[in-house]
Structure 1
């Protein structure tokens, strides 16, 4: 796809300095700009590239510009970073959208498919499933019985969505993620472990994005819930009956055990482990590789395993690094005290 500078400026309400008919057919990082490409400059440290880049069009934060004549066409905006995000979202929506049902897919006669839906080859859609208008279901996806998928969703190849799961509007689920698999529920007995039936479902609210190779287990009874606007990275395990609130971000390889409740606007780092049946408040930050085994209050910053207040952890870690010397000093003090008492 090709765009002119004036078309791009129209998308982001920018002011053109230079050739409004300059064409772009791709994007480049500002450090490796190419002719015919678009890039952006949002910070002072990248301002020198305004004079050296080969890019044909640049989106630039207006305060970084001077009265010089620049070789590329400039689109001046208040915040180039945010404006470039708007452009990328528009491009993503325009690129690769399809509609229609490809050969090799299998759709049950009771399934309801909305307008302008795309269903790729070798996708299987079970009885009474519902797909909202404009959603993109890529090849080799499995959608179980009574699953409901909202409007304008993207379900990538290899995703498995088990029976009775609910996916809201504007959601993205990346390749090979499993939604609604059995929770890890077993009852010990004299003969081993007996499986506890997992009869609930998964509810994913609007505007959620889930990375690749994640597993989200359905509730034992009731629902596992992923709140509106939450963003989940790759390789994450969310167990049965977990309730995650709105606008959380969870980095790769985190694991959340069953029946834990997580509030809104939390940031959970990579490889964090959270035990079951606890409550995490709102705006909590859990730093990478922490192990959380107790409730967390609103606004806390946690670190370590078991996780404690991050400030306390750092102060204590300084002492831990000097622990051998501290023990020597204590032993010396004790020995000196004994010698003085024996005199």
Structure 2
């Protein structure tokens, strides 16, 4: 648009840079114009990362808020940093600690003895139960529940299920983003841990005592059962299901809707339910698609043998 800016991250779309109405175009160092371009070009190493940085700066300016609403509740024992924003009907419990620049939107809940690091944002209606530790520059979206009880019940002699008290907490390190309506359960004993740089989509269930390694990304509707350990730099597709007490290595890719019943080695790519190696799955799927033809051929062979 006139007066705006555009970017070219993929050279196969280069033709559009010549017709853009934007005043500024962000392009990679490798781009070489073949004809006149009206826009002023800014060359960068990675246009996509550059535009991401610009949008993040704009978003921070747009969401910039400060001040504490008179309608918020803050326990007198809580420690509040400088430049914070606490919206209407937000709750900050006993001995809670909010770092500098923290933002709590209306109806956010921060339980007793919880800690939120500098620059983190908790959007409207999110809940941090007691003893939760949230690092710096984290984003917690609306509807997120952090620190609810893990799913722990023990059967007694009558066949009834007795609740096992969940006495641990949740620790989330720096620069983590948690999408709307995701639930992260507290540990039975110890901590459920989300390492720095993890990105969680909406509607994810993370059970008690799970650990997720640095810079792992997980798509929506994934469920991770209790005490499972996931390595760093993993990618997990939507609706994947991981069994409990298993170990997922570093740099693993789990395809959407995979059911993972056992340990996975570093660097594996898996698919299917129960999951197997991605290449094996694709080879098997070819046979599965042709299964009826294979059966028909076997029937013909049996008839010939019978004759």
Query: Considering the TM-score relative to the shorter chain, is it more than 0.5?
Result: yes
C-alpha distance in 2 between matches for 1:51 and 1:301: 40
Query: Relative to 1, partners in 2 of residues 1:338 and 1:69: Cα closer, same or farther, differing over 3 Å?
Result: closer
Deviation digits for residues 221-266 of structure 1 (CA, Å, limit 9, x no counterpart): 1111101111101100000011111110000110000011111111
Larger Rg: 1
| TM-score normalized with structure 1 length | 0.86
Q: How does 1:211-250 map to 2 (within 5 A)?
A: 211-250=179-218
Q: Is contact 1:171–1:209 with CA below 8 Å preserved after alignment?
A: yes
Count of equivalent residues? 306
Q: Secondary structure of 1:312's match?
A: helix
| TM-score normalized with structure 2 length | 0.96
| Matching residue of 1:151 | 118
Q: Secondary structure of 1:81's match?
A: helix
| 1:191 CA drift (Å) | 5.1
Task: Confirm or deny that 1:104 pairs with 2:71.
Answer: yes
| 1:50 CA drift (Å) | 2.1
Task: Confirm or deny that 1:204 pairs with 2:172.
Answer: yes
**Alignment partner for residue 90 of structure 2, among 123, 127, 132?**
123
Q: Is contact 1:239–1:259 with CA below 8 Å preserved after alignment?
A: yes
Instruction: List structure 1 runs of 4+ shifted beyond 6 angstroms.
Output: none
| 1:100 CA drift (Å) | 1.5
Q: How does 1:127-206 map to 2 (within 5 A)?
A: 127-189=94-156, 190=158, 192-206=160-174
Q: How does 1:21-60 map to 2 (within 5 A)?
A: 34-60=1-27
Which consecutive residues of structure 1, in runs of 5 or more, have no partner in the other structure? 1-33
Deviation digits for residues 39-68 of structure 1 (CA, Å, limit 9, x no counterpart): 111222222222211212221224324274
C-alpha distance in 2 between matches for 1:330 and 1:179: 56
**Alignment partner for residue 327 of structure 1, among 291, 295, 299?**
295
| 1:160 CA drift (Å) | 0.3
Which consecutive residues of structure 2, in runs of 5 or more, have no partner in the other structure? none
